[in-house]
Amino acid sequence: MSYILAKMITDALTQLGKGQEYLASGGSTTTVVCAEFGTAFAEEDFEGSSVIITQADAAAPENEWAAIETYDQEATELTLYTALTVAVQAGDNFLVSGAEYPIPEMVRLANIALSDFGSIAYIEELAIGSSDTTIEVTEEYLSGVCDLFFKPDGGDRFLPVPSFRLVPADPPQIDFYTPLGSGTLQVWRDTVHPDVIDPSDVISSSIPPALASMALAVEALQWQIMRQGTDDTALQSAMANLVNKLEDKKRRHKIRRPKRRPRTMGIQRLS
Mind listing the pLDDT tens digit for each residue in 44-74? 999 999 999 999 999 999 999 999 999 999 9
Q: Give the span between the Cα atoms of 59 and 84, in whole angstroms.
A: 12
The per-residue pLDDT for 138 is: 86
Average pLDDT over residues 247-271: 62
Q: With 70 as the cut, is the pLDDT of residue 40 above it?
A: yes
The per-residue pLDDT for 215 is: 96
Q: With 80 as the cut, is the pLDDT of residue 261 above it?
A: no
Average pLDDT over residues 108-121: 95
The per-residue pLDDT for 259 is: 63
pTM of structure: 0.85
Average pLDDT over residues 209-228: 93
Q: Tell me the pLDDT band of 140, cut-offs 50, 70 and 90.
A: confident
**Is the bond preceding 152 in cis, omega lying within 30 degrees of 0?**
no
The per-residue pLDDT for 1 is: 76
Q: With 80 as the cut, is the pLDDT of residue 123 above it?
A: yes
Amino acid at 247: E
Amino acid at 233: T
